[in-house]
Amino acid sequence: MRKWTVAGVVLLIVVLAGCRQSPQATSTPDLEITLDTTTPFKMGQTELVVTLKDAQGTPIDNAKIEVQGDMTHAGMKPSLGSVDKGTQGQYKIPFDWSMGGDWVLTIKATLPDGRTASKRIEVTIPTS
Ligand SMILES: [Cu+2]
């Protein structure tokens, strides 16, 4: 009986963890981080466009935005990019998709008052 309960809890955690992998999940609900995906991503040097707004939809320009891209396979150095000024809530971040394949992009926003928000986005870059 007890063993079954433990197994049930473990299963529940696994299920919940699975749900958290949703493509665009934000850690702080009062800040909205959006990655522009209207132009398909390609391998190589690019510029990511990230929009930052508060809960009321007001653009935030004075945050620092840091982006880290990790590939889902082992043995890769992460790709990094950052910028500390936006225009009308839009931040343009130089970034290198150094290889085709599956990436997990972590976007972190830090406000002048120290508040932070982050978002994980899964991105697949075509291999050619
Ligand atoms: Cu790789």
Cα(96) to centroid of ligand 1, in Å? 12
Cα(15) to centroid of ligand 1, in Å? 28
Taking 50 as the threshold, does the pLDDT of residue 10 lie above it?
A: no
- Is the CB of residue 9 less than 8 Å from the CB of residue 99? no
Tell me if 11 is assigned to some domain.
no
Question: In which domain, by residue range, is 54 found?
Answer: 24-125
* Strands 44-54 and 64-71, bridge-based pairing: unpaired
Tell me if 111 is assigned to some domain.
yes
Cα(76) to centroid of ligand 1, in Å? 5
Number of domains in the chain: 1
Cα(41) to centroid of ligand 1, in Å? 15
pLDDT of 21: 43
Cα(42) to centroid of ligand 1, in Å? 14
Instruction: Show the tokens assigned to 125.
Output: 């870059």
Cα(73) to centroid of ligand 1, in Å? 6
Q: What CATH number corresponds to the domain at position 91?
A: 2.60.40.10
**Strand ranges, E, within 1-128:** 25-26, 31-35, 44-54, 64-71, 79-83, 90-97, 101-110, 116-125
User: Residue 59 and residue 56: Cα distance in Å, rounded?
Assistant: 9
- Tens of pLDDT, residues 16-67: 444 444 455 455 568 999 999 999 999 999 999 999 999 899 999 999 999 9
Q: Which of 2-16, 20-34, 85-99 has the highest mean pLDDT?
A: 85-99
